[in-house]
Amino acid sequence: MYETTAFRCSGCGSTMLIPNPDGTLTCAYCGTTYEVTGRTCPNCGAVNPPEAEHCARCGRVLDLVGFILQSRLQTTTRERLEQIRAEAARLKAESEAASQERLRRWWAEEERRRALAAAQAERDRQERMLLTGALVFAAVVILGILIYLVVTALSAP
C-alpha cells in the first residue's frame, strides 16, 4: 500500500491507492478501482509509460520483483531493519496524532454538551423561580381578597 499524491479516490478522498500489476489503482479504504494509462510509481505516484521499467521521476524500479531484488542488493539487513523501524515510528506517530485529534474533538464536544446542560439547568432554575413568584403573588392576592371579604362581612350591619 503506497500513498500516491498524484491521485485521490473520488469515493472516499483517500490518497492511499494500491498500484495493481494490470496498471489500475485500488483504494485501500473503500476498494474502488481506477484505470490509469501507464504504470504508476508506488514511490512517488508518477504515471509512467506502460512499458517503463524505471520511474521517470524518482528512478525506482516499477516491476515488483525487480524492486525487491534491487532493494535486497542495495541495502543490508541492518539498513532494512532501520527502514522498517523508521516506518513503524512514523506510523506510530501518525496514529498517535490522529488519536490526539480524535480526543481533542471529543473533549470539545463534551465541553459543548456541558455548556448546553448548564444553560438548560439555568433556564429550568429561572422557570422555577418565575413559577414560585407567580404562586406567591396569587396567594397574596387571594389572601387579600379573603381579608377584604371578612372585613366587609364583619363591618356590615
Proportion of the chain above pLDDT 90, given as a percent? 42
Q: Is residue 59 over pLDDT 70?
A: yes
Q: Is residue 130 over pLDDT 70?
A: yes
> Which pLDDT does position 55 carry in this prediction?
82
> Which pLDDT does position 52 carry in this prediction?
76
> Which pLDDT does position 4 carry in this prediction?
45
> Which pLDDT does position 54 carry in this prediction?
79
Q: Is residue 3 over pLDDT 60?
A: no
pTM of structure: 0.39
Q: Is residue 139 over pLDDT 90?
A: yes
**Is the Cα dihedral 140, 144, 145, 146 positive or negative?**
positive
- Tens digits of residue pLDDT in 88-124: 999 999 999 999 999 999 999 999 999 999 999 999 9
Higher pLDDT, 70 or 102: 102
- pLDDT interval class at 20 (50, 70, 90): confident
Whole-number average pLDDT of the chain: 83
> Which pLDDT does position 47 carry in this prediction?
73
